[in-house]
C-alpha cells in the first residue's frame, strides 16, 4: 500500500471541509451584516431627506421586483426551501434595519421630538390612517380627541404638527407667510389646478386669470342667472312635495342643485339632475371615489400608491379615474366649442386666457383639466354639505326660521343678491353654520419654510407639515363664547360673542377660496327662497318626527365634509298646518 502513501489523509480532507464550511458561515454572516447596513444607509443617506410621496409607486414596484428577483435567484442556487428562507430572511433583515433606523431617529432625534403626541404618530402616518378607518372617516373627531388629550400643539406625524390655536390661520396663510402648500396637494398630478399647485409663482399667475374671470360683468350676470334658475327648479320640487304632503329627500336634492350649478358654471352644461331627479353617472363616480380620501388623506404616499398601482382592481381608484376622465372629455369638448359659444361660463375665460398666450399647449390642457376637476368636485360638495347642515339646524330651531321669515318679508325680491348680502340674521345663520360645520373640517395642510415659523409663541421648525383643523378651532371657547351652541346673533349683535380670529371657512390670503362669492350667493338664495315660503321639520323614512342626529354625528371628513345621513324634510306653506 506504499503507492498510496503520498495521498492526503482524512484529516486533511476534513480540515478542508471545515475551512469551506467556515468560509460560507462567515460569508453568510457578512451578507446579513451588509444587508442590515444597507437598510440603515437607505434611511440615513436617502429617505431622511426631501419628499418621497411621488416616488412611492416607483419604490413599491422596485421593491416587489427586487424581492421576486432575489427569491428566484436564491431558489436556483440553493433549492426551493433553502433559497426561499434565505431570500425571506435577507428581506426581513433589510426592512427591519431600515424601519428600526427610521423609528429610532423619529422618536429620539427628530427636530419635532419635544412636541407631545401619540407615540405611534411619531413613527408613521399609517397610525393616523388606521385611526381614520376605525373612526369611519371621521378625522375631525380623531383630531378633536387628540387636542383634548395633548393640548394646542400636537405631533400627529413624523414631520407634522397639528395646531389648535386661532393664530395658526394668519401664520400659515396670512399676507406675510412664507408657508407653501404641503405634499397632499400633489394629488391631481400630472393635472394642475389653481387650488392644488404648490408653486407660488404659478398659483399667483393662475389666480390673476381666475380673479379677472370672476369679476367680469358677463360672468357675474351669468352665475346669478344660473343660481336663480336652478334654485327655482329646487323650489318646484319642494312646492310639489308640500302640496302633495310628501317627504323630500332634501340632502339628495341639494347635491343635485350644487352639482347642476357647477356643471353650468364650469362647462355651460348642466348635469340636469334636478330636472331628471336622478343622479348623473359621472357625479356618482366622483362621489364614490371621494370616500377613499376619508381614509387615506393623512398619508399622501399611500394615496399615490393606490392611484398608480390599484387603478385596475381598486373600486374607488377606478371610479376616481373614470370621473376625472369624464371631466377631461367635457373640457376637450368645451375647447372645441369655444369659438361658437358666448363668453359665459368660467371655462370660456380660462380657455381664452390660454389662447391669448398662443396656441393651447399640453401644459395649458393640464391646467384646464385640473381646473375643471376642481370646479366640479370642490365647488359642489362644499355648497351641498353646508346647505344640508343649514336646513338641518333650522329644522331643529324653528324660531330661527320665524326670525328669518320676518327679515325676508321686508324684501320685494328674494333673488336680489345685493339685498340678501345685507340681511344680518340670514348671514349670521350662514356664518354660524360655516363655523360649526366647516366645509373643509381638517384639510388645507401647509409646509413651513426652512427657517420655520412661530405661532402663538411656539416655534415650529422648518419643513414641517402644519394641520389647522377648522372644526376644532372654531369650537374653542377661547375663540367663541358658548362655542358649541348655534347662535347666529353673535355675528351682528354687540356683545353677541362673535370673534373672527378662529373663523376662516374660505381660507385667507393668496389661497383664499376664489369661488367664495358664488358659494355665498347659492347659500343665501336657496335659504331665502325656501324659508320665505315654507316651514319644515325633520322626519324619518316613514314620515314620523326625527332629529336627524346622524347628519351631524355621522359626518365624514373626506377632505370636504359629507353629512352622515340623509336629511328628509316635510315642507308646508307658511300659515298652513305642518301635518
**CATH number of the CATH domain containing 288:** 1.10.630.10
Residue 578: per-residue pLDDT: 45
The reply to whether 90 and 177 lie within a common domain is no
Distance CA 245, CA 247 (A): 7
Burial of 501 (0-12, 13-18, 19+ CB in 10 A): middle
Does 236 reside within a domain? yes
Length of the chain: 579
Which string of DSSP letters, residue by residue, matches 289-336?
Answer: HHTTHHHHTT-HHHHHHHHHHSTTT-HHHHHHHHHHHHHHHHHHHHHH
In the structure grid, which three cell numbers stand for residue 378, read together? 370642490
Do 206 and 97 lie in a common domain?
no
Nearest to 255 by CA among 367, 416, 386: 386
> Which grid coordinates belong to 325?
376622465
State the total domains in the chain.
Answer: 2
* Residue 144 domain flag: no
Cell of 71: 427569491
pLDDT at site 31? 86
Say yes or no: 98 and 194 in one domain.
no
Domain that holds residue 367: 173-573
Is there a single domain that holds both residue 93 and residue 180? no
pLDDT at position 10 is 45
500 in a structural domain: yes
CA distance 505 to 246: 34
> Is 167 part of a structural domain of the chain?
no
Is residue 93 within 8 Å of residue 39, measured between CB atoms?
Answer: yes
Do 253 and 360 reside in the same domain of the chain?
yes
226 in the same domain as 85: no
- Contact, 101 vs 38, CB < 8 A? no
Q: Which residues contact 124 (CB under 8 A, 6 or more apart)?
A: 158
pLDDT value, residue 541: 63
Q: Which three cell numbers stand for residue 335?
A: 375647447
For residues 114 and 107, give the distance between their C-alpha atoms in angstroms, rounded to a whole number: 9
Are 84 and 72 spatial neighbours (Cβ–Cβ below 8 Å)? Answer: no
Binding-site annotation: residue ranges: 513
**Nearest Cα residue to 445 out of 44, 125, 210, 211:** 125
Same-domain pairing of 212 and 290: yes
DSSP 183: G
Report the first-to-last Cα separation within the chain, whole angstroms: 120
For residue 367, give the C-alpha cell. Answer: 391646467
Domain end call among 66, 89, 109:
109
- CA 559 – CA 442 distance, rounded (Å): 7
Q: Does the residue 19 lie in any domain? A: no
pLDDT tens-place values along the chain, 579 residues long: 444 444 444 454 445 545 444 444 555 678 889 999 999 999 999 999 999 999 999 999 999 999 999 899 889 888 888 889 989 999 999 999 999 999 999 999 999 999 999 999 999 999 999 999 999 999 999 999 999 999 999 999 999 999 999 999 999 999 999 999 999 999 988 888 999 999 999 999 999 999 888 888 777 788 788 888 899 999 999 999 999 999 999 999 999 999 999 998 888 888 999 999 999 999 999 888 888 889 999 999 999 998 888 766 778 888 888 888 898 898 988 888 877 666 678 888 888 888 876 678 888 889 999 988 888 887 788 999 999 999 999 999 999 999 999 999 999 888 899 999 999 999 999 999 999 999 999 999 999 999 999 999 999 999 999 999 999 999 999 999 999 999 999 999 866 555 668 899 999 999 999 989 999 999 999 999 999 999 999 998 655 667 888 999 999 999 999 999 899 999 999 876 544
**DSSP secondary structure of 274-285:** HHHTS--HHHHH
Return the C-alpha torsion angle 375, 379, 381, 383, nearest 10.
Answer: -160
Please tell me the pTM assigned to this model.
0.91
Binding site per annotation, positions for heme: 513
Degrees to nearest 5, angle at CA 374 with 472 and 333: 165
Report yes or no on 578 lying in a domain.
Answer: no
Same domain assignment for residues 439 and 367: yes
Residues 230 and 100 in one domain: no
Cβ-Cβ contacts under 8 Å for 202 (sequence gap 6 or more): 192
Q: What is the pLDDT of residue 318?
A: 87
The pLDDT assigned to 124 comes to: 96
| 2 grid coordinates | 506504499
Adjacent-strand bridge partners of 409: none
Given 109, 130, 155, the domain boundary residue is 109
User: Alpha-carbon distance 521 to 266, whole Å?
Assistant: 16
Number of H helices, E strands in the chain: 23, 12
HEC string of 369-436? HHHHHHHHHHHHHHHHHHHHHHHHHHHHCHHHHHHHHHHHCCCCCCCCHHHHCCCHHHHHHHHHHHHH
At 146 the three-state DSSP class reads helix
| In a shared domain, residues 357 and 225 | yes
DSSP state of 573: E
Domain identity same for 105 and 177: no
Determine, yes or no, domain membership for 563: yes
Non-local (6+) Cβ contacts of 188 within 8 A are 196, 370, 373
- Provide the pLDDT for residue 512: 93
263 shares a domain with 406: yes
Domain for residue 1, yes or no?
Answer: no
Contact 188, 373 (CB under 8 A): yes
Amino acid at each position: 500500500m506504499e503507492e498510496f502513501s503520498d495521498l492526503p489523509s482524512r484529516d486533511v480532507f476534513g480540515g478542508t471541509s471545515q475551512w469551506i464550511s467556515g468560509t460560507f458561515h462567515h460569508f453568510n454572516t457578512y451578507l446579513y451584516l451588509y444587508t442590515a447596513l444597507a437598510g440603515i444607509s437607505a434611511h440615513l443617506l436617502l429617505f431622511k431627506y426631501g419628499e418621497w410621496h411621488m416616488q412611492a409607486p416607483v419604490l413599491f414596484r422596485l421593491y416587489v421586483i427586487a424581492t421576486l428577483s432575489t427569491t428566484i435567484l436564491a431558489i436556483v442556487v440553493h433549492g426551493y426551501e433553502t433559497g426561499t428562507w434565505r431570500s425571506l430572511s435577507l428581506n426581513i433583515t433589510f426592512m427591519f434595519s431600515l424601519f428600526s433606523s427610521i423609528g429610532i431617529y423619529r422618536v429620539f432625534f427628530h427636530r419635532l421630538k419635544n412636541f407631545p403626541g401619540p407615540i405611534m404618530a411619531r413613527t408613521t402616518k399609517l397610525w393616523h390612517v388606521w385611526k381614520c378607518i376605525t373612526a369611519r372617516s371621521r378625522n375631525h373627531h380623531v383630531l378633536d380627541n387628540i387636542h383634548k388629550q395633548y393640548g394646542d400643539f400636537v405631533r400627529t406625524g413624523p414631520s407634522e404638527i397639528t395646531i389648535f390655536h386661532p393664530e395658526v390661520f394668519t401664520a400659515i396663510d396670512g399676507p406675510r407667510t412664507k408657508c407653501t402648500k404641503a405634499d397632499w396637494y400633489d394629488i391631481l398630478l400630472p393635472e394642475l389646478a389653481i387650488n392644488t399647485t404648490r408653486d407660488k409663482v404659478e398659483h399667483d399667475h393662475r389666480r390673476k386669470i381666475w380673479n379677472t374671470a370672476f369679476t367680469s360683468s358677463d360672468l357675474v350676470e351669468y352665475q346669478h342667472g344660473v343660481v336663480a334658475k336652478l334654485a327655482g327648479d329646487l323650489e318646484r320640487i319642494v312646492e310639489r312635495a308640500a302640496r302633495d304632503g310628501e317627504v323630500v329627500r332634501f340632502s339628495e336634492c341639494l347635491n343635485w342643485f350644487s352639482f347642476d350649478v357647477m356643471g353650468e358654471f364650469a362647462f355651460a352644461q348642466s348635469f340636469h339632475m334636478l330636472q331628471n331627479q336622478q343622479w348623473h353617472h359621472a357625479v356618482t363616480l366622483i362621489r364614490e371615489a371621494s370616500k377613499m380620501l376619508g381614509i387615506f388623506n393623512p398619508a399622501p404616499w399611500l394615496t399615490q400608491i393606490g392611484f398608480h398601482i390599484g387603478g385596475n382592481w381598486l373600486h374607488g381608484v377606478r371610479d376616481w379615474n373614470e370621473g376625472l376622465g369624464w371631466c377631461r372629455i367635457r373640457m376637450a369638448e368645451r375647447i372645441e366649442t369655444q369659438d361658437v359659444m358666448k363668453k359665459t361660463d368660467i371655462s370660456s375665460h380660462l380657455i381664452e386666457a390660454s389662447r391669448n398666450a398662443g396656441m393651447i399647449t399640453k401644459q395649458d390642457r393640464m391646467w384646464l383639466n385640473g381646473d375643471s376637476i376642481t370646479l366640479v368636485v370642490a365647488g359642489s360638495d362644499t355648497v351641498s354639505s353646508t346647505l344640508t347642515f343649514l336646513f338641518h339646524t333650522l329644522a331643529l330651531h324653528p324660531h330661527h326660521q320665524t326670525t328669518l321669515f320676518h327679515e325676508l318679508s321686508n324684501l320685494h325680491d328674494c333673488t336680489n343678491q345685493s339685498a340678501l348680502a345685507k340681511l344680518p340674521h340670514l348671514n349670521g345663520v350662514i356664518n354660524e353654520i360655516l363655523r360649526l360645520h366647516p366645509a373643509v373640517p381638517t384639510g388645507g395642510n401647509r409646509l413651513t419654510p426652512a427657517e420655520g415659523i412661530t405661532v402663538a409663541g411656539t416655534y415650529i421648525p422648518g419643513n414641517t407639515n402644519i394641520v389647522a383643523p377648522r372644526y376644532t378651532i372654531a369650537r374653542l371657547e377661547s375663540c367663541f363664547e358658548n362655542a358649541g351652541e348655534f347662535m347666529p346673533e353673535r355675528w351682528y349683535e354687540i356683545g353677541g360673542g362673535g370673534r373672527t380670529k378662529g373663523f376662516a371657512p374660505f381660507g385667507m390670503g393668496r389661497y383664499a377660496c376664489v369661488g367664495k362669492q358664488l358659494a355665498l350667493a347659492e347659500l343665501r338664495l336657496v335659504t331665502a327662497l325656501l324659508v320665505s315660503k315654507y316651514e319644515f321639520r325633520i322626519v324619518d323614512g316613514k314620515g314620523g318626527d326625527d332629529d336627524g342626529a346622524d347628519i351631524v354625528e355621522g359626518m365624514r371628513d373626506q377632505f370636504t365634509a359629507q353629512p352622515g345621513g340623509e336629511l328628509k324634510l316635510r315642507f308646508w306653506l307658511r300659515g298652513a298646518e305642518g301635518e
